[in-house]
Structure 1
Amino acid sequence: MNLLKEGIEKSFVIKTSESRKITIDGHTEAYPVYKVNLDYLFYNDQNDRIATWISQYKADNSIMKIDIINLQQYNSIIQDFIVKSNPDQIKKTQTNIELVDQREPGVVLADGRIIDGNRRFTCLRNLAKENQRFNFFETIILEKNLENNAKQIKMLELMIQHGEESKVDYNPIDRLVGVYNDIVENQLLTAKDYVKCTNVLENEINKQIELAKLLVEFLEIINAPKQFHIARDLDLYGPLVELQGILKKIKTKNEKEEIKCAVFTNFLMKPHNDMTRFIRKIKSVASSEFLPDFLEEQMVIAEKVLEKLPDVGQVTRKVINDVFRSDEDTKAELERSLDKAEMKAKARETRNRPLQTLEKVSDILETIDINIFTKLNEEQISSILSQVDKLEEKLNAIKESTNV
């Protein structure tokens, strides 16, 4: 079925006098806007906004792909994900459309797949149940199909979602999943492609790729490979960012692996309500001499925790809550281990701070060109000598205090 052929011939697609500009492959063009009967459109299950919801549905139903043969049933399934991803925004958009109709045209492919406008389509489907005047979706129609133009269509979707007038407001874990699927797993796009589409710096995209890989590694360790919805439900984006920063402080490969195992165990157990702040505390330990002792303690706890994991396919949010996060003794053990290591690291940092400060002062003094004093006036020389006297007093006080 082709909306631009059969759709127009059979009158379920009607051309309007409106147009919308979009950019494809660097070329901006105004495309005509059509009114398309909702029954001939369907959601894009490749949409990053609902990536974790798709993974959850597949896991819950033990399927590889959502069947699209029954279009209405397929749309109802995906619509549920769209609503759950941001119910407040759905209500707001639906109220607005009910009052002033659809104002911003969407983008669909000729086969009816929606590339931009899933939320508007959802609201119109809801409203059309009560009033048939909402039974048409205003959109441009691209003469493309997903099979032959997957990369181009994905880039178009990213450009629209990250454009100046379109705010990317979906869950950051969904965004990581999109990055992982498109760049790492399917190799549909490169980092440079992402930069081109999103106006985000390449080093930021590379950071997102690293975060996505850490996310995948965590899910593999807890026997829930690619069950991305679990990471979304556990709200792991902030803690993952902290782990990324910690790893930069670790020098050896073995310690990097152990710190990941330790942090992943804490992700699973959640010993503190604010896990982002909790994981951040490890940074001071990571750059201290107390890291080996901390890791040794954490590895003992991690082994005890991870051996309780059920087999692949049996790890769910309920299992995590019932088996792991209800274990108050182990959570307390994890928290005590980190608190102890952090206190030691901070105490050592406090003891070292006077030396570090004096070294900085010495470095600064080395930058002074004493030859310039001959060019200064009496007032300037007097001010300098006054500061030197204050420094001498402070240095003498330090010397006296160290004569113990």
Structure 2
Amino acid sequence: MDLLIEGIEQGYVRKTGLVTKMAFDGLTDNYPIYKVRLDCLYFNDRNDRIATWISQYKEENGFQSFDKNNKEKYNDIIQNFITESNPERLKQTQNNIALIGQQKSGVVLKDGRIIDGNRRFSCLRNLSKNDEGFKWFETVILDKNYENNAKQIKMLELQIQIGEEARVDYNPIDRLVGVYRDLVDTKLLTIEEYARSTNDTPNKVKKLMEISKLLVEFLEAINAPGKFYIARDMDLNGPLYELYGILNKIKDEDKKQQTKYIVFTNFLMKPSGDMTRFVRDLKKVTGSNYFEEFIDREEEISEQILDTLGEYEDVNKEVINKVRSKEDVKNQLETTMEIVSNKAKVADTRNKPSQTLLKAISSIQAIDKRLVSKLGEEERLELKDNLDVLDEVIYEIREALNV
């Protein structure tokens, strides 16, 4: 249905007499606001966030489970995603609309595709179940279709959803997905067009492009290409930014690639919990004399894990959880980072041996003596070997001190 023709003729669309100022395709103009019946509208599957949710739904429920031709079911599925992404914000908006009505108009295309107003549309759908007075959505209707006006519509969408300072709830991973699709994959927009639409500098957009490529490389490395929701669920935005900064400082291309895939493995296994802190610790290691040791210790583990994932036809959440359950591998990764990171820290404080020794004493005192008495034979021997090494180190320090 064309809302501006059949919609008006059949009474599904009504003019309100109100107008709103809006910039579209480089021109600012006054656009009339209409009331459109809710069942004539549908969520925009080209929206970066919605496209990511849809891919996740298909992955988890089967590709045949998603029927875009069934508009009501299609809207129900996506509305559920919108609700789950920020239930408190939706509840707040819904209570506000219930009290004083819809205050901000949306933007839709003439076929009913929603470009701006997903949350408001969701709230009205909820409220209309108990009150017919809420079955209308106030919106601008652009006399455009997506297929022939994709660039202009995308720029408008970015301007509304990212360019305005008030929009703070845009998931950073979803934004990286959009940057990759629009600037790298389809080349729908140039760097300058994206920067202009989002009120960013071209240099910042270039940085976003490079980080979005890292995101894609990570998913390819774990044999889950295109499954962006996995990176969103892992909350990798901060770690990816930190990794980008580290890689830029490594001049040797071989080391850069080795580091990248080692870090990807740590993203996957999440040995220490906080990945942003892990990558920040790695910064100290890459700038120390122990960088080679770090690569040597972790590269073999990384190759084994990534090769294992390559054996799976379909890497999903279940597979990732299975791989992550290997506590011995996680411990190896975490221990390696602790050892090398501590060496780097010690090197930084080489002129403060007493402080270093105090930290070592504190760590040793933290050992639970009751657990030691319950160790098995193999663990007892391992602990004894480590104590012998410690004795040797202490002896060497005493000798140096006597000199």
TM-score (norm 2): 0.83
Greater Rg over alpha carbons, structure: 1
Partner of 1:251: 251
Instruction: Name which of structure 1's ranges 146-155 and 292-301 shifts more when overlaid on structure 2.
Output: 292-301
Partner of 1:336: 335
1:2-401 equivalences under 5 Å are 2-61=2-61, 63=63, 67-164=67-164, 166-309=166-309, 311=311, 313-321=313-321, 323-351=322-350
* Residue type at the aligned position of 1:278: F
Offset, 1:326: 1.8
Residues 216 and 225 in structure 2, CA contact (< 8 A), matched pair in contact too: yes
Instruction: Name which of structure 1's ranges 306-315 and 270-279 shifts more when overlaid on structure 2.
Output: 306-315
Residues 36 and 138 in structure 1, CA contact (< 8 A), matched pair in contact too: yes
* Superposition CA RMSD, Å: 1.9
Partner of 2:358: none
Offset, 1:51: 3.8
Q: How many residue pairs align between the two structures?
A: 353
SS at match of 1:248: helix
- Aligned mates of 1:164, 1:235 — CA distance in 2: 24
- Aligned mates of 1:84, 1:64 — CA distance in 2: 23
Offset, 1:88: 1.7
Q: Deviations over 1:41-61 (max 9, x none)?
A: 111011123343122123335
Residues 22 and 29 in structure 2, CA contact (< 8 A), matched pair in contact too: yes
Offset, 1:66: 5.3
Residues 86 and 170 in structure 1, CA contact (< 8 A), matched pair in contact too: no
Offset, 1:197: 0.3
Q: Deviations over 1:260-304 (max 9, x none)?
A: 110011011111121111121000111222211210111111122
Q: Deviations over 1:313-344 (max 9, x none)?
A: 521222212x2222222111111111111122
Offset, 1:64: 9.8
Q: Summarize the Cα distance change of 1:192–1:66 in structure 2 as closer, same or farther, 3 Å threshold.
A: farther
- Aligned mates of 1:352, 1:184 — CA distance in 2: 49
- Aligned mates of 1:139, 1:83 — CA distance in 2: 21
- Aligned mates of 2:286, 2:98 — CA distance in 1: 55
SS at match of 1:251: coil
- Aligned mates of 2:297, 2:113 — CA distance in 1: 53
Offset, 1:164: 3.4
Residues 51 and 174 in structure 1, CA contact (< 8 A), matched pair in contact too: no
- Aligned mates of 1:208, 1:327 — CA distance in 2: 33
* Residue type at the aligned position of 1:326: S
SS at match of 2:309: coil
Q: Deviations over 1:164-191 (max 9, x none)?
A: 3641412111111111111111111111
Instruction: Name which of structure 1's ranges 41-50 and 189-198 shifts more when overlaid on structure 2.
Output: 41-50
- Aligned mates of 2:311, 2:266 — CA distance in 1: 20
Residues 124 and 134 in structure 1, CA contact (< 8 A), matched pair in contact too: yes
Q: Deviations over 1:220-254 (max 9, x none)?
A: 01110010111111111111111111102211111
Which 4+ runs in 1 deviate beyond 6 A? none
SS at match of 1:309: helix
- Aligned mates of 1:199, 1:209 — CA distance in 2: 16
- Aligned mates of 1:312, 1:153 — CA distance in 2: 39
* Residue type at the aligned position of 1:226: G
Residues 49 and 85 in structure 1, CA contact (< 8 A), matched pair in contact too: no
Instruction: Name which of structure 1's ranges 217-226 and 156-165 shifts more when overlaid on structure 2.
Output: 156-165
SS at match of 2:188: coil
Instruction: Name which of structure 1's ranges 73-82 and 96-105 shifts more when overlaid on structure 2.
Output: 73-82
Offset, 1:15: 0.2
Residues 225 and 312 in structure 1, CA contact (< 8 A), matched pair in contact too: no
SS at match of 1:144: coil
Partner of 2:396: none
Residues 35 and 138 in structure 2, CA contact (< 8 A), matched pair in contact too: yes
Identity among equivalent pairs (%): 56
Offset, 1:142: 0.5
* Residue type at the aligned position of 1:333: Q
* Residue type at the aligned position of 1:347: V
SS at match of 1:52: helix
- Aligned mates of 1:144, 1:314 — CA distance in 2: 39
Residues 50 and 174 in structure 1, CA contact (< 8 A), matched pair in contact too: no
* Residue type at the aligned position of 2:333: L
Residues 161 and 170 in structure 2, CA contact (< 8 A), matched pair in contact too: no
- Aligned mates of 1:215, 1:30 — CA distance in 2: 40
Instruction: Name which of structure 1's ranges 257-266 and 86-95 shifts more when overlaid on structure 2.
Output: 86-95
* Residue type at the aligned position of 1:53: W
Q: Summarize the Cα distance change of 1:35–1:311 in structure 2 as closer, same or farther, 3 Å threshold.
A: farther
Q: Deviations over 1:88-143 (max 9, x none)?
A: 21111111111111000000011110100011001101111111110000001000
- Aligned mates of 1:158, 1:312 — CA distance in 2: 37
- Aligned mates of 1:206, 1:351 — CA distance in 2: 40
